[in-house]
Amino acid sequence: MEPTLQQSTSKQEDESLEHAFRDCQAVKEIWSMLDISWPTEMSCASYKQWMDWLFMNSSSDLCRTIICAIWVIWSDKNKQVHERKIRQNIDTTRWRPPERSFVKINFDATFQGHLLKSCLRLEGRDSEGQIVGMRMILNDHVPSSFAGEVIACLQGVQMGLDLGFQRVILEGDSLLPDGENP
C-alpha cells in the first residue's frame, strides 16, 4: 500500500521543510519507492543543503523526478490543510495484475489550477506485478484537472509505445471534482 500524507501533530514539524519533504515517514516511503536516496549525513542537513546535494549528484532526468515528487508532496499537504482532503492511493490497494502477455499502465495526475500545471505519474507493471516502467512528467498550460487526467492517459499510451509493448491496459483512478465537466 502506498503511504498517505497525513498532517503531523507537532506544530514544529509542520513548519519544517526538512520534515515535510525528507523526514516524515510517509515521505521517506515515497523516496524509497522512487529509489531516490542520499548519504546518512544528508539526513541532518538543512533543506537547502539536502536539495543542493540531490541536484548536484543526480542526472537531469532524476532531477525532474525529484521536482515532480516534491510538487506532488506539497500539493497533497496543501489539499490536506486547506481542503481537508487526504489523498487515498486506491490504485495500489485495489490493483489487479493484467493477464499474461499484457502490461498495465496506471496513471494519475495532480493539478495546480492557479498555475495551470499538472504533474503526472505513470507506472507500468507486468502480469507478475513487476514494474516495467515509471515516469513522472510536469505539464504546463493545462486548463483543468480533467485535462490533466487526459494528458496522463495519453502519456500512458506513449510510454507503452516507447517501451515496445503491444498489449497494454491503461488504468486511472480519477474522480471529477463536483461541478467539473469534461
pLDDT in tens, 27-82: 888 888 788 889 999 989 999 999 999 999 998 878 888 887 887 788 777 766 66
Ranges of CATH 3.30.420.10 domains, the chain = 90-172
CATH 1.10.645.10 fits domain 90-172:
no
**Dihedral class, residue 36 (left if φ above 0, else alpha if ψ from -120 to 50, else beta):** beta
Task: Quick: pLDDT tens for 74-113.
Answer: 877 776 666 655 554 433 445 688 999 999 998 888 888 8
| Cα–Cα distance, 76 to 119 (Å, whole number) | 12
All 3 cell numbers of residue 144? 483543468
All 3 cell numbers of residue 150? 487526459
Q: Please, are residues 182 and 143 in contact by the beta-carbon 8 Å criterion? A: no
